[in-house]
Amino acid sequence: MDIIIRDHYEAMSDYATEVIAGYVKSKPDCVLGLATGGTPIGVYQRLIQMHQQGLDFSQVKTFNLDEYYGIGMDLEKPYNLDQSYARFMHEELFKHINIKKENIHIPNGLTKEPESYCQWYEKQIEKVGGIDLQLLGLGRDGHWGFNEPGSSLGSRTRLQALTEQTLDDNYEAFYKKSNIPKDQMPYFAITMGIGTILEARNILMIVNGAKKAEMVAKCLEGPITSQITASAIQLHSGRITVVLDKAAASQLQHSNHYVHVEKLKRDYGL
Ligand code: F6R
Q: What's the CA gap between 254 and 258, in Å, rounded?
A: 7
pLDDT attached to residue 82: 62
- Cα–Cα distance measured from residue 221 to residue 201, given in angstroms and rounded to the nearest whole number: 22
CATH of residue 127's domain is 3.40.50.1360
Query: Considering the entire predicted model, what is its pTM?
Result: 0.95
Identify residue 65 by its one-letter amino acid code. L
Nearest CA to ligand 1 atom 6: 139
Q: Is the CB of 39 under 6 A from ligand 1?
A: yes
Angstrom distances, CA of residue 258 to CA of 4, 157, 255, 265: 7, 33, 5, 11
* 131: Cβ contacts below 8 Å, ≥ 6 apart: 31, 32, 33, 63, 125, 199, 200, 201
Structural domain of 166: 2-267
- Tell me which of 132, 148, 169, 245 is the catalytic residue: 148
**Encoded amino acid at 129, one letter:** G
Instruction: Report how many domains make up the chain.
Output: 1
> What confidence score (pLDDT) does residue 177 get?
75
Stretches where the chain sits below pLDDT 70 are: 73-82
Q: Which residues contact 140 (CB under 8 A, 6 or more apart)?
A: 165, 166, 169, 211, 212, 215
Q: Residue 81's pLDDT is what?
A: 53
Q: What was the pLDDT predicted at 79?
A: 47
pLDDT at 77: 55
